[in-house]
Chain A
Amino acid sequence: MENKNERRKEQILRMSGVNPKKCMRCGKCSGTCPSYDEMEYHPHQFVSMVESGDLEPLMSSPSIYKCLSCFACVDRCPRNVEPAKLIEALRLTVIREKGANHLLADQIPALLDEEMPQQAIVSAMRKYSK
Chain B
Amino acid sequence: MQRIGVFVCHCGTNIAGTVDVKAVAEALQYEPGVVISKEYQYMCSQAGQDLIKEAIKENNLTGIVVCSCSPRMHEATFRKTAAAAGLNPYMVEIANIREQCSWVHKDIPTGTEKAIILGKAAVAKVNLNAPLTPGESPVTKRALVIGGGIAGIQTALDIADAGFPVDIVETKPTIGGKMAQLDKTFPTLDCAACILTPKMVDVAQNDKVRIFSYSEVTDVSGFVGNFEVTIKRRARYVKEDICTGCGLCTEKCPQKKVPNEFNLGMDNRRAIYIPFAQAVPKVATIDPDYCTMLKSGKCGVCSKVCTVGAIDYQAKDEYLTEKYGAIVVATGFNPISMEKFDEFAYSQSKDVITSLELERLMNAAGPTGGTLLRPSDGEHPHTIVFVQCVGSRCASCAEKGKEYCSKICCMYTAKHAMLIRDKYPDTDVYVFYIDVRTPGKNFDEFYRRAVEEYGVHYIKGMVGKVSPEGNKLKVRASDLIDGKQLHIDADLVVLAAAIEPDKSARPLATMLTASMDTNDFFTEAHPKLRPVESPTAGVFLSGACQGPKDIPETVSQAGAAASKVIGLLCKDKLTGNPCVAHSDEWMCNGCSTCEKVCPYGAITYQDKEFRMPDRTVKVRRVASVNEAVCQGCGACTVACMSGAMNLKGFTNQQIMAEVDAICK
Contact = CB atoms under 8 A, between A and B. Distances in A.
A115 B490 CA distance: 30
A113 B394 CA distance: 39
A87 interface: no
Interface stretch (B16-24, B459-467, B517-525, B648-656): B459-467
Contacts of B483: 42
B464 A80 contact: no
B248 to A, nearest CB: 50
Interface residues of B, number: 21
A31 B389 contact: no
A26 B405 CA distance: 13
B76 interface: no
B461 A78 contact: no
Given A26-B434, A80-B395, A33 B464 contact: yes
Given A36-B485, A76-B343, A27 B478 contact: yes
A44 interface: yes
Find the residue from B395, B460, B478 having the highest chain A CB count within 10 A: B478
B396 A30 contact: no
A37 B343 CA distance: 20
Contacts of A89: none
Interface in A19-47: 22, 24-33, 36-37, 42, 44
Contacts of A14: none
A97 B625 CA distance: 78
A24 B434 CA distance: 8
A26 B462 contact: yes
A31 to B, nearest CB: 3
A72 B395 contact: no
A45 B344 CA distance: 23
A96 interface: no
Nearest to A80: B396
Contacts of A80: 395-396
A7 interface: no
Given A22-B395, A25-B434, A32 B480 contact: no
Nearest to A37: B485
Contacts of A72: 464-465
Nearest to A30: B478
Nearest to B460: A27
B393 interface: yes
Find the residue from B395, B396, B477, B483 having the highest chain A CB count within 10 A: B396
Contact of A25 (B394, B401, B480): B480
11 contacts: A26-B461, A26-B462, A28-B478, A31-B465, A31-B476, A31-B478, A36-B478, A42-B478, A44-B480, A72-B465, A79-B396
Given A27-B480, A42-B485, 12 more contacts: A24-B434, A27-B460, A28-B478, A31-B465, A31-B476, A31-B485, A42-B483, A75-B343, A76-B465, A77-B396, A78-B394, A80-B396
Interface of B: 343, 389, 393-396, 401, 432, 434, 460-465, 476-478, 480, 483, 485
